[in-house]
A = this chain, B = another copy of it.
């Protein structure tokens, strides 16, 4: 059984040794001489341990479209730029794009992402290879794919369920406006039977809510309730335009919401009502959305933006630093059913080591405040996932090749 000891790491105000064993934090301090036997000891002098980020909503391979089209109305952006580019993407391109996305996530401190896209086999392959976690969606969108593909989707979900301890599959109907009642209900049933997460876009724009009311006579959340989708395995992305009743239904059913504030602002979808969402008691996490509308996968940026938007729409004392940190870490892990996101005994050994000498973490009156409000990726020294280092001393294996290949691929497609 492989053992790693993080020696003299700064944790919650003290320096201590941390034992990682069997992919989990086995001991936080209080190690005995026996613990050091046959252990790999990593000197963490000058480094603090913090929970890494869990990205609750992403379209990883779209990183190939970063900066391809910006600053234009939604329909022009989608129809004249994004969709034609995506139409040319082959499975190999998805692999290359996912690899760039995962590199960027690791370098900015993220060890998990929930992905809704096409050619999931390629993304799964790259996640396994690069050492982080993901919940990979099998995506449903009626009209875009033939009926045969839909049946293949359900077969794939059953066949690949237990493929890796770091990769889970999830049922991802794109949205209530891209998936009709019958298929949505079937998705929900399969998710329940297979004990999988069901993830969808929900209440992202005012137009979506207005269209839903016109077509179904109810809000998107009410429609989810009608379909029997709400529950502990339901995770909705965006959730910009929910009313108080929607929020109460989400909270009571133990459904989770993933905010993507940067994308929502950039595409002019709106500002989510974060104080009300938090008051409702619902589980709220954070994600980045895809790099074509963000234009990065930096969870730290989303975390700080979530904090700022909450404060300006309520009061300066709302959502203290430690609370918004949870929204970007453990809340997402909880939503996706992963026992991780805190540095605590028994939890999966995912962690960041941040450089206490970084200028943004100084002076250090309060490390959590500095991390949430002042830091950027430059302070992230190393990243651990599942007890293994996926970045050491600011470097990810093969990063130069990953970037070069993505650049060539994007040029070919553009």
Contact = CB atoms under 8 A, between A and B. Distances in A.
Interface centre among A301, A309, A376, A377 (most CB of B within 10 A): A376
A209 interface: no
A295 B370 contact: yes
B360 A296 contact: yes
A85 to B, nearest CB: 9
B67 A317 contact: no
Contacts of A373: 67, 70, 266, 294-296
Contact of A305 (B268, B271, B305): B305
Contacts of A411: 363
A77 interface: yes
Contacts of A266: 307-308, 311-312, 316, 373
Given A366-B67, A414-B365, A378 B107 contact: yes
A274 to B, nearest CB: 12
A103 B317 CA distance: 30
A270 B357 CA distance: 34
A374 B265 contact: no
A225 interface: no
Interface string A344-374: 0000000000000111101111110110011
Interface in A357-411: 357-360, 362-367, 369-370, 373-378, 399-400, 402-404, 406-407, 409-411
B359 A311 contact: no
Contacts of A365: 65-68, 410, 414
Contacts of A68: 365-366
B374 A291 contact: yes
Nearest to A368: B67
A12 to B, nearest CB: 15
A68 to B, nearest CB: 4
Contacts of A35: none
Contacts of A367: 67
A315 B374 contact: no
Nearest first, the 8 closest Cβ-Cβ pairs linking A and B are A363-B410, A67-B369, A265-B308, A295-B373, A71-B320, A265-B312, A296-B374, A67-B366
